Structure 1
Amino acid sequence: MSDELFKEYEIPQMVTEYVPEDGKVSAEISELSKKGYQLIKDNRIDEAKEAFSKILEIEDNNNYALVGLGDAERKQGKFRSAEEFYSKCLEYHPNNSYALFGLADCYKALNQYHKAIAIWEQYLVHDDRNITVLTRVADAYRKTRDFKKSKELYLSVLDMEENNSYALIGLGHLHYDFKEYRDALYYWTKMLEKNDELVDIRVLTSIGNCHRKLKTFDKGVMYFERALEREPNNFYALFGLADCYRGMNQQFRSIEYWNKILEMDPDNKVILTRAGDAYRNTGDYKTAAEYYTKAIDIEFDVYAALGLALICKGEGRYEEAAERLQGLIKGDPRNFRFYIDLSDCYIKMNQKSKALETLKGVSRYGVRSPAIADMINRLEREA
């Protein structure tokens, strides 16, 4: 499961009603344009398309109609066709800012961030204090992992509008992406302080995730619990609480929340494996084995397979545990954890030379592990 347990905060898409210039657009086109945009606002997209299409029957390449059709397609998630309408508008009306906005947002949705940046920066040449555009460009630079440019733009937004929500959220994501969890915590906490009651639940889970990363689990618990007060079945809050209690070695508490997730998603093999780990760590090998086996029945999971091997080891069935671990090493020869557990099985079977051979064998794969080095040194001293 990805560590990124929260989704992006999106700036709402811009849907704008166009006001025609007197003398340049017929009254009929003006009326159809207003009707089309009202229909988009009412989420009656197909009817909006009909209205804009009627404009094109009256006037080819009408900018209001082309942008309106682009906005309608974009609202339905049809970014490729929306891109075509915006591009066609720009062929005939190169400076149409609404078409530029729409096209850039399409590129962003299609993960073509460099194209989106180029268009937004073109707009900023004429209006370098447009907060909406600045936050969009900052978001795009963050997606392309340009930390410096992204941060500069977010901070410039905060200079213009202190405590701007999108800039604070974006800065939180930026620092989190670059594993600067304390800085991410600073910006997300500032967002929370700004408006505790109305703040999005994802801010609470994001702050909780920072504490998970910083291993300040007790503080993380507080934010995940607050999130659950608002939304009792929120997956990210349940996962965060379970993982915090795991980190605090309160396995019984973590089991409670793993199982709450499984009530909603009983075939989630990752959660089944996490719950299996928690039961194993409490010494309930029977229940742990049931969870691991169910996870593997859904789809092979290396951590569930490791869990079954560790149960064998915990129950003193060292030969079976060693056999299982050897199979895991064949599948993933660079995972140093397998070598440590396999060597420990050999030590338990009083086969220290085999344990030493196993540990030294990992070097052929270029794996470097302080834990393995320490174990080798200890065995050599005892030899």
Structure 2
Amino acid sequence: MLKDKLSFDELAEGLSEETGEEALNEISELSKQGYQLLKENLTERGRELFDKILSLDKFNNYALVGMGDCFRKERNFREAVTYYQRCLSSHPGNNYALFGLADCYKAMNQFNRAIDIWEEYLLHDDKNITVLTRIADAYRKVRNFKRSFELYQKVLSMEENNSYAIIGLGHLYYDFKEYKDALHYWQRMLEVNRGHVDIRVLTSLGNCHRKLKTFDDGVPFFQKALKLQPNNFYALFGLADCYRGLNQQEKSLIYWNRILDLDRKNKVILTRAGDAYRCMGDLENAEEYYKKALNIEFDTYAILGLAMINKKKGHYQDALTSLKDLISNDPRNYRLYLEAADCYEGMKDPEEAIEILAHFLETGIRNNKVIDRIMTLKEKIQS
């Protein structure tokens, strides 16, 4: 922590002029005890001591920052902010107050305010790697690629294998859907930490391959992650989704069901498992899983899954009823129109199939699959 750098000589210098010499030793001792309690996470007792200091010297910068740090550790960020601001009002430019204040704004997802504070901090100390990585993270959160990239690279120019900067660059490229570049940095992280593999790096590498649809390459990373943590949700989900992408539904089901063993009311996973059963032709189990999802709350994909089961069974009207309800809620989802067109085709009514597809084009969205389907249907009618 930055706080470790604060000496008690600095503390003495930070006392207000109103503080008598007699109180100096008492404040110094209280400060040492308060900071030790803070390090031991005994924040409530630490606050009592810092409060005593403030009763002797209400402008004491160390006590004000100490109180802020205690509240910050307790995740009471709003209270922490008041103490950091009190410190800065009497001691402008106090690095420790600036750092704590920015950290609070970041924790409250007020990234632009955090950035302003950290940029002010950099005016006093532009070589602090901790601050540079944190401000780069904040710029990433507000989707300022250029500034975030610059700051991460500045860290790497100072410390070539800084893991926070490498990981940050991986996240930055991933957030901007540049998955190949993200892979480069995640792979570099593996090389840096050869003796210690971080499960988050493994799942991030796997997720890049999922996004790139190189599912075969993603599988080993999720498998390695599961060896480290057999019940890790992200590894289980990633592996199941890779097998889904490879159309190996039986394997995907193993991992969907392992997630459900841990969380039986996860409706997203219930619908994914339902999809797997449906693709395998096990309509009974598929229907059961979709209904379990709907018993939790409304789910578009569960309704769609049931509609596709009805379509497969030849219950076209039931399927159409569900699909039309979904279209009214999500009129820009082209897949729903294609499924509805299938139902009309099954009912030997290609004109209605063309009409419902035409409704999609009326939304102003151009979709080649829909256009090609209309052309195919028109050709069938003419032949």
- If the TM-score is normalised by the length of the shorter chain, which range does it land in? over 0.9
TM-superposition CA deviations, 1:124-168 (whole Å, max 9, x none): 223222111111111111111110111011011111110110000
Q: Secondary structure at the match of 2:4?
A: coil
Alpha-carbon separation, structure 1, partners of 2:4 and 2:66:
9
Q: Given the two structures, how large is their TM-score scaled by the length of structure 2?
A: 0.94
**What is the identity, as a one-letter code, of the residue corresponding to 1:257?**
Y
- Which residue does 2:71 correspond to in 1? 73
- Which residue does 1:243 correspond to in 2? 241
Residue 242 of structure 1 contacts residue 253 of structure 1 at CA under 8 Å; is this kept in 2?
A: yes
TM-superposition CA deviations, 1:30-65 (whole Å, max 9, x none): 111111111111111101111111111121111111
**What is the identity, as a one-letter code, of the residue corresponding to 2:285?**
T
**Is 1:41 matched up with 2:29?**
no
1:56–1:86 Cα change, 3 Å: same
Residue 200 of structure 1 is aligned with which of 169, 189, 198? 198
Quote the offset at 1:113 in angstroms.
1.7
TM-superposition CA deviations, 1:174-217 (whole Å, max 9, x none): 00000000011100110111113423211111111000000111
Residue 305 of structure 1 is aligned with which of 303, 306, 316? 303
- Which residue does 1:20 correspond to in 2? 8
Alpha-carbon separation, structure 1, partners of 2:298 and 2:141:
32
Residue 18 of structure 1 contacts residue 34 of structure 1 at CA under 8 Å; is this kept in 2?
A: no
Residue 17 of structure 1 contacts residue 34 of structure 1 at CA under 8 Å; is this kept in 2?
A: no
Residue 325 of structure 1 contacts residue 338 of structure 1 at CA under 8 Å; is this kept in 2?
A: yes
Residue 208 of structure 1 contacts residue 223 of structure 1 at CA under 8 Å; is this kept in 2?
A: yes
Show the 5 A alignment for 1:120-131. Answer: 120-131=118-129
Count of aligned residue pairs for this structure pair: 371
Quote the offset at 1:17 in angstroms.
6.6
Q: Secondary structure at the match of 1:365?
A: coil
- Which residue does 1:221 correspond to in 2? 219
Q: Secondary structure at the match of 1:128?
A: coil
TM-superposition CA deviations, 1:260-289 (whole Å, max 9, x none): 000000001110000000000000000000
- Which residue does 1:29 correspond to in 2? 27
TM-superposition CA deviations, 1:275-314 (whole Å, max 9, x none): 0000000000000000000100110101000000000111
Q: Secondary structure at the match of 2:124?
A: coil
Residue 151 of structure 1 contacts residue 171 of structure 1 at CA under 8 Å; is this kept in 2?
A: yes
Show the 5 A alignment for 1:80-119. Answer: 80-119=78-117
Alpha-carbon separation, structure 1, partners of 2:161 and 2:78:
35
Deviates more, 1:327-336 or 1:264-273: 327-336
Residue 15 of structure 1 contacts residue 71 of structure 1 at CA under 8 Å; is this kept in 2?
A: no
User: Percent of aligned positions with the same letter in both sequences?
Assistant: 59
- Which residue does 1:6 correspond to in 2? none
Show the 5 A alignment for 1:44-193. Answer: 44-193=42-191
Alpha-carbon separation, structure 2, partners of 1:165 and 1:229:
23
Q: Which runs of 5+ in 2 are unaligned?
A: 16-23
Show the 5 A alignment for 1:272-351. Answer: 272-351=270-349
Q: Secondary structure at the match of 1:288?
A: helix
Q: More helix per residue: 1 or 2?
A: 2
Alpha-carbon separation, structure 2, partners of 1:27 and 1:370:
79
Alpha-carbon separation, structure 2, partners of 1:276 and 1:15:
53
Higher RCO (C-alpha under 8 Å, 6+ residues apart):
1
Alpha-carbon separation, structure 1, partners of 2:140 and 2:249:
37
- Which residue does 2:20 correspond to in 1? none
Q: Given the two structures, how large is their TM-score scaled by the length of structure 1?
A: 0.94
Q: Secondary structure at the match of 1:16?
A: helix
> RMSD value over aligned CA atoms?
1.4
TM superposition outliers: structure 1 runs of 4+ over 4 Å:
22-25
- Which residue does 2:21 correspond to in 1? none
